[in-house]
Structure 1
């Protein structure tokens, strides 16, 4: 029996599912979510934080209205966000909404301050780091298929539908960024036409940020 697939725009009712998608998207290839390091000592899990981030419209990398959800047999199995990048802050979190996140999570002032300081240290205190500078008019982010639904081509179906959404919004160029070593994602993006155009290698991050990190590669695709 064939699987019935459909796509739809996300709503606030989808936030728990979108939080799981964003979490799953953050894992490869290190099998680790970077939010977990920043949340150490707060008593908050990465999933709880991501959900609060979405509820408070605090993401620079795609909020609820930016997500497209793929359903199989009327059940959500995958999602991805397509958004217009801001010009003031390229990092994942809108710090102006951090107080709202803290209120949502019932954080103490100490937790809020500790998280803020770790966040700024993690990104080097630069809200416009060179490696995150957008070169595309429209960015795809937080792409993930639930683990139990992988291996069935759902990622490609979702991305093709999202690219059509970008075309309908008259965007000219789509960009997407992949952590080096995430070969599954890279092959998926290349199979639908994305081409690599810029790589920041591990040496860049060790020299600029003093961290061990595999680096990132940016891919682009002309839409119109």
Structure 2
């Protein structure tokens, strides 16, 4: 029982890349069948996982990179993770990381344009918060470890890191309809800040849009 109440929290390591990739896809999907990488890449799950795993260890350090993640372990095994970083510059870094990995695996310029075109559906609904915010994203727990308080422990560590870095406000976003995420973030002291909806977004994802919660740190 002690292991459940006090999980080991540590920075992600290169050997966690496949675990981080799986959690990125899971967090993007929420309770819906497809997330951003599924839609933008247009590939099956093994190919998407391989691409995201490359991004997790690419030279460009985006918000998908292992250096931005912390991991909760249960009995020495990675069980949950999230990324926490300054909001400033995240969009440009993400785009650069995709381009870098696409080039490395031999995708053409036409292929890359198609990825960004398919992924553009989220632009009208994205709610990231202010450039001065501390951003928490890509929160996910493996199904067999849910209900153990791992995300609450991770968020606590992430907020402490943001506070130590000099940030005063944290933002976290999720798909509207992801009720488990909403309950979890409310429990962690976050409250509603804004949301954006679009019929086209819902037609593609099944979710009406994005909701953002925020809190002081």
Q: Distance in 1 between matches of 2:60 and 2:174?
A: 22
Cα gap change, 1:46 to 1:194, in 2 (>3 Å): same
Report the alpha carbon displacement of residue 205 of structure 1 after superposing the two structures with TM: 4.4
Distance in 1, Cα, partners of 2:19 & 2:165: 25
Residue in structure 1 matching 2:182, options 169, 182, 186: 186
Q: 2:56: which partner in 1? A: 54
1:78–1:210: structure 2 CA closer, same or farther, 3 Å change rule? closer
Deviation string, structure 1 residues 102-147 (Cα, Å, up to 9, x no partner) = 244x3342xx522422313531697xx6734532521101100111
Distance 1:210 1:29, change over 3 A: closer
Task: Say whether residues 1:116 and 2:113 are aligned partners.
Answer: yes
RMSD: 2.9
- What corresponds to 1:101 in structure 2? 101
How is 1:69-84 mapped onto 2 (pairs within 5 angstroms)? 69-84=71-86
Residue 159 of structure 1 corresponds to: 155
1: CA distance between counterparts of 2:43 and 2:21?
A: 21
Could you tell me how far 1:187 is from its partner in structure 2? 0.3
**Which residue in 2 is equivalent to 1:220?**
214
Larger mean Cα displacement after TM superposition, 190-199 or 55-64: 55-64
Cα distance between partner residues in 2 of 1:115 and 1:19 = 20
Q: CA deviation at 1:29?
A: 2.4
Q: How many residues are matched?
A: 214
In our comparison, the structure showing a higher alpha carbon Rg is 1
1:63-86 Cα distance to aligned partner (Å, 9 max, x none): 221111111112111110001123
User: 2:173 is matched with which residue?
Assistant: 177
**Which 5+ residue runs of structure 1 have no aligned equivalent?**
none
Select the structure that is richer in helix.
Answer: 2
Counterpart position of 2:2: 2
Provide the residue aligned with 1:134 in structure 2.
Answer: 129
SS in structure 1 of the partner of residue 70 of structure 2: strand
**Does the residue aligned with 2:195 lie in a helix, a strand or coil?**
strand
Once residues 42 and 200 of structure 2 are traced to their aligned partners in structure 1, the CA distance between those partners, rounded to angstroms, is 26
Q: TM-score, normalised by structure 1?
A: 0.81
Structure 2: gaps spanning 5 or more residues: none
The residue matched to 2:56 in structure 1 has which SS?
Answer: helix
